Amino acid sequence: MTNFNAANTRFCDLLTLAEDCYQGGDFLAAARLVQFAAFHAFPANVGLFGSPRLEQLLLDIAKRIPNASADSKPAAVEKSRHVLHVLSYAKPIGGDSRFVWRWMQEDINSQHSLAITLQSDIKDTYDVPEIFVKSAKQSGGFVKVLSSPTSNPLDQALELRMLCQNVDVVVLHLYPYDIIPVLALGAGCNSVRVLFINHSDHTFWVGASVAHCVVHLRQQWSDFLRKRRGLRLEYNPILPIPIVPMHTSMPRVEAKRLLGYDSDVVLLLTIASPFKYFATNHIAFLDLVVPILIDFPQTVLIAVGPEAKGAWLSASSQTNGRVVPLGRRWDNEILYAAADIYLDSVPFSSITSLLEAGSHEIPLLGYSPANLDLKLLGPGAPGLENTMLMADDAESYKSMLVKLISDEAFRCQQGRSAKKEILSLHTGINWSRIVNDLYQKLEKIDDRGCILDNIDTFNPGELDSALVQLYDQVQGRQHIRQLIGDYIGTLPYRSRLTLTWQLYLIGFDLCYLNLLPPAVDRLIRFAGRRVKNTLRHIFS
């Protein structure tokens, strides 16, 4: 059980340490400590969903980054607006990446460019997908991966600042702990309008201090925005997630045949990151679905994301192989074509996957807990409210799933309704109208910064606890020590030695590697990289 009081005290001490570095003129150390603090606070580890104090320190550091002359503007394009999207990571998977390239494709009246801040952290895993380059070039824009090393956020921020100075609108699509855009936009970009897209509306995030407007992807509770995030409430627009409709002509029977299933099999589909299906003390997806699969032997569940191990392997055994976890896949079109029913991940919804499934005329079933604090974990988006079957307890969920399995006409009616509503709001003319209205209103907002005051609001509840349980599956036991190594271990030796010890004194894990002299440290890190590369080569 997380002790939020103790965690928040450590977080406050960490910010004090960063503020001391700032006051002492060590701006790089201050920035690295703030990076550590932001990642440490995610998803809700310290009982906060925003930190005005942290963002104010970033703004102060931003003003200390020397400005440089911006590059000359790119060749003129016959479009009135140049939009620069800023993305932390460009991947072939993930709702934030798909959101960006679809915006670039659908908004044909603007010139679109893309800057990527942290791609070098994942360069051994993902290349920048070609669809970003193609979408940018078609609009007359460019794609730029920041070349400054991630070990120096001040240089990264300056590089991004120079890009931002040449555009009309900057749209931030960030991982919650990405501080580089705040450092970039915190000074020297006064003429640029900034939108922050609230991709992670259920977790702590950084960025409201440099935005003219925070854009939400679904309805938000005003009390949560004001009391837990500390945001101003004058203007909180909703922008539907852009969906590109797939015009597949493959009949469902044919798609099932290609997957190896008979036409009378009722195929259930779910797509999400593995951690979204389990949380201690909360109802789990397989607890809801496996009993129904056992009762209905003509059903098969295909899961994209989870792998065949642990609870998923056990569920497959219980159902004689009718739970089929496929792991991660990029192309799921044949699965959408074959699916009879789409099941949202529980307890943590995967909204983009839901919308994509509904756009393929598949009926949707989800779970939204009755507890108001936990509803941010559940599904929600324009077009889903009136078309998606939604349960708030286990019995109603199972009853709805049985109805969908047993009644083909009901399934078809639900699928048609979902497709019509989702396509009307998330594609085409209607979506373009919404985004154009957003641009026009943005031009009339003079004040930058959507934060109410500089006081952090500490008031943890059930949502904080649920998030810590969910993300603990991803972060693991060595998470904090790894962060200290990543963010503090790259500083000059004297600085990292002092800060590593000070972090230990205020309650953080001791990162022993940071204490080693530079020559020994380089040798160990080199050996570690060689081992990782060898293992990657063996298992690739």
Longest dimension (CA), the chain: 71
Neighbours of 152 (CB within 10 A): 15
- pLDDT value of position 528: 63
Query: Quick one: 401 and 466 in the same domain?
Result: no
Query: Quick one: 309 and 410 in the same domain?
Result: yes
Last residue of a domain, one of 443, 468, 483: 443
Distance CA(218)–CA(223), nearest Å, equals 15
- Name the DSSP class of 216: B
SS3 115: strand
Last residue of a domain, one of 418, 443, 468: 443
Query: Quick one: 232 and 274 in the same domain?
Result: no
Reply yes or no on whether the pLDDT at 217 is more than 50.
yes
- pLDDT value of position 331: 85
Query: Quick one: 27 and 9 in the same domain?
Result: yes
- pLDDT value of position 539: 44
Q: Is the peptide bond before 176 cis (omega within 30 degrees of 0)?
A: no
- pLDDT value of position 513: 82
- pLDDT value of position 74: 52
259 within domain boundaries: yes
Query: Quick one: 165 and 293 in the same domain?
Result: no
112 within domain boundaries: yes
Query: Quick one: 258 and 339 in the same domain?
Result: yes
CATH of the domain at 393: 3.40.50.2000
Query: Quick one: 506 and 413 in the same domain?
Result: no
Ordered DSSP codes for 268-288: EEEE--GGGG--TTS--HHHH
Last residue of a domain, one of 391, 412, 443: 443
Over range 145-168, report the average pLDDT.
97
Give the global pTM.
0.91
- Count up the domains in the chain and report the number: 3
Give the range of the structural domain holding residue 370, as residue numbers without chain letter.
252-426
452 within domain boundaries: no
Query: Quick one: 197 and 345 in the same domain?
Result: no
Among 357-371, 469-483, 502-516, whose mean pLDDT is lowest?
A: 469-483
Query: Quick one: 88 and 206 in the same domain?
Result: yes
Q: Which two tokens stand for residue 261?
A: 């299933």
- Name the DSSP class of 322: -
Reply yes or no on whether the pLDDT at 422 is more than 70.
yes
Reply yes or no on whether the pLDDT at 342 is more than 50.
yes
267 within domain boundaries: yes
66 within domain boundaries: no
Query: Quick one: 406 and 331 in the same domain?
Result: yes
198 within domain boundaries: yes
Give 69's pLDDT tier (boundaries 50, 70, 90).
Answer: low
Query: Quick one: 465 and 373 in the same domain?
Result: no
55 within domain boundaries: no
72 within domain boundaries: no
Query: Quick one: 468 and 409 in the same domain?
Result: no
Instruction: Fill in the amino acid letter for 121.
Output: D
